[in-house]
Amino acid sequence: MTALVALFSTAAIGAGIIFFLAGTVGLIRFPDGLTRLHALTKADNLGLGLIVIGLLPLSSSVGMALKLVVIWALVQFAGATVAQLIARVARSTERGE
């Protein structure tokens, strides 16, 4: 059971790290604002989300696990809103120039 939990956590956290890596690579390598934004949102949502999922079975109390989920929801929600605002800015500056 413990080995299974460890395996699950390692896999989920590892996957989360891969999404963070993808976000950074995209942010640096992608050609323009909107595509970079696309890469960033993956790191925000899936990267942190998978890390939180991996941490849930390891957390020391139910309260801590609940807080982890709230943290992810906050980052997710803010990320989606910021993405909308950034996309508007990117579009209007493209039109303006």
Which residues form the interface with another protein (CB under 8 A)? 6, 9-10, 13, 16-17, 20-21, 23-24, 27-28, 33, 36-37, 40, 43-44, 47-48, 51-52, 55, 58-61, 63-64, 67-68, 70-71, 74-75, 77-82, 84-86, 88-90, 92-93, 95-96
Residues in Cβ contact with 75 at an 8 Å cutoff, skipping those fewer than 6 apart? 44, 48
Burial of 93 (0-12, 13-18, 19+ CB in 10 A): exposed
Smallest separation (angstroms) from another protein to the CB of 96: 6
Smallest separation (angstroms) from another protein to the CB of 25: 9
Cβ closest to another protein, residue 1 vs residue 20: 20
CA distances from 10 to 19, 30, 39, 60, 86 (A): 14, 29, 23, 17, 33
